[in-house]
Amino acid sequence: MTQQLALNLVSQTMIMAAKIAAPILLSAMVVGLLVSLFQSVTQIQEMTLTFVPKLLVVGLVIGLAGHWMLGQFIAYVHQVFGELPQLLSSG
């Protein structure tokens, strides 16, 4: 495996990880921002108020987008396994 192929594989892996994690991270970030705004307006500083809404939203996002995320991951694994002979023979 050449250095260019290894860098390409690592780059594709990082992009795939970002694509899969993005819906969960973005939804948790938005909910965290809204809860923080609510807490600063009402001056309620309850720790469970930040945790429970994030947990519910992340569960909902996984339930709704989990099929898409799994499909993306399976397609990527099939692509990598399809390129495996090329990766092994180019060393």
**Per-residue model confidence as pLDDT tens digits over 4-44:** 888 988 999 999 999 999 999 999 999 999 999 998 898 88
Domain count, the chain: 1
Is residue 90 within 8 Å of 9, Cβ to Cβ? no
Residue type, 2: T
Give a yes or no: residue 37 inside a domain. Answer: no
Q: Print the domain residue range for 26.
A: 3-30+43-89
Residue 36 lies in a domain: no
Tell me what pLDDT residue 26 has.
Answer: 96
Q: Does pLDDT of 91 surpass 60?
A: no
Domain assignment present for residue 15? The answer is yes
Q: Looking at the predicted structure, is the pLDDT value of residue 53 above 60?
A: yes
* Within a domain: 64: yes
Nearest-5° angle of CA 59, CA 63, CA 67? Answer: 140
Residue 73, domain member (yes or no): yes
